[in-house]
Structure 1
Amino acid sequence: MKFVAFERKSEGTGASRRLRNVGKTPGIVYGGTGQPQLIELDHNALWHALKKEAFHSSILEMDLGGATNKVLLRDVQYHPFRQQVQHVDFQRVDANTRLHMKVPLHFKGSEESEAVKVDHCLVNPVVNDLDISCLPADLPEFIEVDLSGLKKGTSLHLADITLPKGVKAVTHGKPNPVLVSVVTSAAEESAADAAPDAAAAAPAADAKAAPAAKGGKDAKDAKAAPAAKAAPAAKAPAAKKK
């Protein structure tokens, strides 16, 4: 990506405020073999460029005074509540010096994985970018991560992906950090919890029903027996006197 910058001759809070009032953004370029240089940029052009992911993670070509410089965006300061860029920092790039950058991760293929298609799990990215070290010529705009091999109960670690040629990950003491985790959905967990409860409730219901049925039959027989015993024997009719 290319952008145009202009040399800035004045510095200080007052000078920066005057630049912002006329639609400019103050900035600085440092690093490499040259001295730090004050610059200014058109605010609207910079605002739209900052919305693009590549502007934050790739080598930029800065046109300054008719010369082209390769730089990296290093810092952006925004106004607390206005849509305004207060200040911007760029670093010159040396082709023979390794860079330390944050590069975004682009995840793909999660919908085709067994974890999602078969087991209906949720795929949660743990990190969205990765610290890397490489030469400027090897700097990727992003790193693509294939999630089609995810399975239930597993996680994707740094060692499970292939980094671009010449790129090394900077893990800050964690040799194999987790990039993506697979989580069982709430509906699946509820169904799994309900199954053992239903299985345990069925024998209990059968055991409760059996004594009730037995007790009902005994009670019926007990009521019938006294009734039969209490019935008096039929007497022959008395003979009529003449």
Structure 2
Amino acid sequence: MSLTINSNTRENHGKGASRRLRKENLVPGVIYGGSSEPQSISFAVNELKKAIENPAFFTSVIEVTVNGNPEKVIVKALQRHPARAEVLHIDLLRVEENTTITTRVPLNFSGAATSAGVKTQGGRLVIESKLAEVRCLPGNLPTELVVDCSNAQLGDIYHLSDAIVPENVELVSLLKGEDHNQPIGRIDKSKR
């Protein structure tokens, strides 16, 4: 487990209590799910800000230490201030090693810049979806799914099924049937 962040339990709830916490440079949060009761926590602003700078924070199983006790969680929701780059609240979902989780991971379109469709045919990569919903055990959760565009030609369309999916990981949309194999990107004529 490479990502770890410390937190403390909190007793007070509600908008007023959350405002007071923010004035003390703390960010309120909740850990829920699993077999335990929901737990109200708070993070030091600077520690949470540092953790959020790592993109893997949003797509990996992370360890939150609550008053010295480690909990394995994934980020479920993050509320930010509409005008400032500050986190107002964070929701975390407990994960258990033998329980399947469903979450979204980023799609990484690689090789498009050097493909014939972009380099010699005047196209550009248009990304239609940046995330894909996956289902797997926490230990198998990928940080991203790669879509290889190195052989792209002008007019090529990439679908969800073109993503390279690791073993023991399922794409939720494809489990619903072939008609849910949505387009996620394409090589389109460049508008220069």
Alignment TM-score, normalising by the size of structure 2: 0.90
Aligned-partner SS, 2:129: coil
Task: Report the Cα distance in structure 1 between the residues aligned to 2:12 and 2:161, rounded to whole angstroms.
Answer: 50
**Aligned-partner residue type, residue 73 of structure 2:** V
Match of 1:106 in 2: 108
Match of 1:176 in 2: 181
Structure 1 residue 47, shift from structure 2 partner? 2.0
Q: Identical aligned pairs, as a percentage?
A: 34
Indicate the structure with greater strand content: 2
What RMSD over aligned residues (CA atoms) do the two structures have, in Å?
1.6
Indicate the structure with greater helix content: 1
Count of aligned residue pairs for this structure pair: 187
Structure 1 residue 158, shift from structure 2 partner? 2.1
Task: Report the Cα distance in structure 2 between the residues aligned to 1:83 and 1:186, rounded to whole angstroms.
Answer: 33
Match of 1:89 in 2: 91
CA distance 1:80–1:175, shift in 2 (3 Å): closer
Match of 2:20 in 1: 18
Instruction: Structure 1: state its 5+ residue gaps.
Output: 188-242
Structure 1 residue 31, shift from structure 2 partner? 0.7
CA contact 1:150–1:156 (8 Å) conserved in 2? no
CA contact 1:60–1:71 (8 Å) conserved in 2? yes
Task: Report the Cα distance in structure 1 between the residues aligned to 2:27 and 2:162, rounded to whole angstroms.
Answer: 43
1:185 aligned onto 2:160: no
Task: Report the Cα distance in structure 2 between the residues aligned to 1:122 and 1:17, rounded to whole angstroms.
Answer: 46
Residues 42-101 of structure 1: CA distance to partner in whole angstroms, max 9, x if unpaired? 012112322321111100011112211101111111222233322111111011221111
Task: Report the Cα distance in structure 1 between the residues aligned to 2:13 and 2:43, rounded to whole angstroms.
Answer: 14
Structure 1 residue 153, shift from structure 2 partner? 2.2
Match of 1:222 in 2: none
Aligned-partner SS, 1:130: strand
Residues 156-189 of structure 1: CA distance to partner in whole angstroms, max 9, x if unpaired? 12223331111111226743211211112346xx
RCO (CA 8 Å, sep 6+): is it higher in 1 or 2? 2
CA contact 2:32–2:92 (8 Å) conserved in 1? yes
| Pairing 1:193-208 to 2, within 5 Å after superposition | none
Task: Report the Cα distance in structure 1 between the residues aligned to 2:79 and 2:132, rounded to whole angstroms.
Answer: 22
